């Protein structure tokens, strides 16, 4: 009987020990799971024709992740998890970009996606996110087409392309003398086609006469024929939707052909320091728009304010940030806010939280509409004396526009 009780006691101890080990193992696995970083993945143009703008997004993602991790990472419930980031170079090839987003989800097993630069890339790459039901937050594509497909897993931090020239056209309506003949030129990619479609309607409503409405091939380098038409038609205002390399070529050739309308405005380039460095004095007078300026009034949880952010960016990367940089940082912050609100890394829960995020950032107030796009006003800017000067925002002039433009040799 004593032996039987001893045997029973031993079995009980074995059961207790086994149960303890199971519980301990479960706790260890849970702790290990919580210790795993939240992983973000992106495919970005680091080489190829649009690498000069693509680099903003790599730098923005890395800068945001670095700053958020330094502050403790992502808060999920009572725990904090670091962020891991994987950025691939799509070499400015949209087909490679699609394959890389498939790789990020299927092989690298990232939790969430950040976007590439340029609307045509976002259009293709966001289909991978939608099919996989994994949220993608992107700050590089503004085409209205991105948001017209009923997708639920893509969110964007750039305002609608169709209204990019909105502030410029409002300013034009207040000029004296008012521009009479307008030329609208645009590249044949998704973003620029969306810009042109919206601008065409804005010009019509503003009572402007569009004498040239012309599409050109993306990455075009020869604008001599278009510039000759602009000169012969005595165009007062030229609005160009294109990428930075195209705009640089356009301005250089305009000078060489002495095409000098009263107003030049471009969708990209003007807010960028690289643009000013590339053109020197010839950049003066060029107008454009931006959804962001580094104002101290824009407060941020991780960077203090936009002025402090701009100084820290310049110190770290050696060049000044523009709206691409701020938009890229805002995508990471939006994901972090959504993960914390969801209290989970479950893709569906985070997707639903993204649809409801509402927070102030160095980029401005971030909240997505029912289609997944942000709404921010565009500010008309102009390069004056080698500096970007805010010109028109809302309904009033902020500073005086240089209009009509001085001859090329006097800028």
φ and ψ of 334, to 5 deg:
-65, -45
Average pLDDT over residues 282-303: 96
Considering only residues 334 and 377, tell me which one the structure prediction assigns the higher pLDDT. Answer: 334
Q: CB–CB of 283/316 below 8 Å?
A: no
**Structure confidence at residue 395 as a pLDDT band (50, 70, 90):** confident
Say if 36-159+294-366 and 163-290+378-410 have the same CATH topology.
yes
Domain residue ranges in the chain: 36-159+294-366, 163-290+378-410
Cα 24 → chain centroid: 45
Residue spans of alpha helices (H) in 42-162: 51-70, 94-106, 119-132
Q: How many helices (H) and strands (E) does the chain have?
A: 12, 19
Q: Is the pLDDT of residue 29 over 70?
A: no
User: Which tokens belong to 258?
Assistant: 């002495």
Three-class secondary structure assignment of 40-65: EEEEECCCCCCHHHHHHHHHHHHHHH
Architecture of the structural domain at 36-159+294-366: 3-Layer(aba) Sandwich (3.40)
Reply yes or no on whether the pLDDT at 210 is more than 50: yes
CATH architecture for residues 163-290+378-410:
3-Layer(aba) Sandwich (3.40)
Q: Which phi and psi (to 5°) does residue 374 adopt?
A: -85, 160
Instruction: Tell me the whole-structure pTM to 2 decimals.
Output: 0.87
């Amino acid at each position: 009987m004593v032996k039987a009780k001893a045997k029973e006691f031993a079995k009980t101890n074995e059961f207790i020990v086994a149960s303890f080990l199971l519980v301990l193992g479960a706790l260890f696995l849970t702790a290990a799971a919580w210790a795993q970083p939240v992983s973000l993945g992106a495919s970005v143009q680091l080489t190829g024709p649009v690498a000069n703008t693509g680099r903003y997004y790599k730098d923005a993602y890395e800068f945001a992740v670095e700053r958020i991790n330094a502050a403790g990472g992502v808060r999920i419930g009572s725990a904090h998890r670091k962020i891991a980031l994987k950025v691939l170079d799509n070499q400015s090839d949209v087909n490679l970009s699609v394959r890389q987003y498939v790789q990020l989800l299927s092989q690298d097993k990232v939790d969430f996606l950040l976007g590439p630069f340029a609307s045509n890339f976002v259009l293709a790459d966001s289909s991978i996110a939608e099919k996989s039901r994994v949220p993608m937050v992107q700050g590089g594509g503004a085409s209205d087409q991105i948001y017209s497909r009923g997708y639920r897993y893509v969110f964007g931090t750039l305002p609608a392309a169709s209204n990019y020239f909105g502030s410029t056209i409002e300013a034009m309506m207040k000029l004296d003398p008012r521009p009479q003949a307008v030329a609208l030129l645009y590249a044949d990619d998704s973003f620029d086609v969306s810009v042109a479609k919206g601008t065409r309607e804005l010009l019509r409503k503003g009572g402007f006469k569009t004498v040239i409405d012309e599409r050109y091939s993306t990455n075009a380098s020869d604008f001599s024929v278009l510039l000759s038409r602009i000169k012969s038609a005595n165009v007062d205002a030229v609005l160009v939707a294109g990428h930075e390399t195209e705009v640089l070529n356009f301005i250089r050739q305009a000078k060489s052909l002495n095409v000098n309308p009263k107003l030049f405005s471009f969708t990209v380039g003007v807010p960028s320091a690289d643009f000013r460095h590339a053109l020197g004095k010839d950049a003066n007078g060029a107008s454009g728009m931006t959804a962001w300026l580094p104002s101290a009034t824009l407060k941020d949880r991780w960077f203090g304010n936009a002025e402090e952010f701009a100084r820290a960016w310049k110190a770290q990367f050696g060049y000044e940030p523009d709206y691409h940089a701020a938009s890229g940082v805002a995508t990471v912050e939006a994901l972090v806010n959504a993960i914390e609100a969801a209290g989970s890394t479950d893709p569906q829960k985070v997707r639903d939280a993204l649809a409801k995020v509402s927070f102030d950032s160095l980029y401005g107030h971030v909240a997505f509409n029912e289609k997944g796009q942000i709404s921010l006003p565009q500010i008309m800017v102009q390069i004056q004396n080698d500096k970007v000067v805010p010109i028109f925002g809302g309904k009033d002039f902020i500073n005086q526009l240089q209009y009509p433009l001085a001859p090329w040799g006097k800028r």
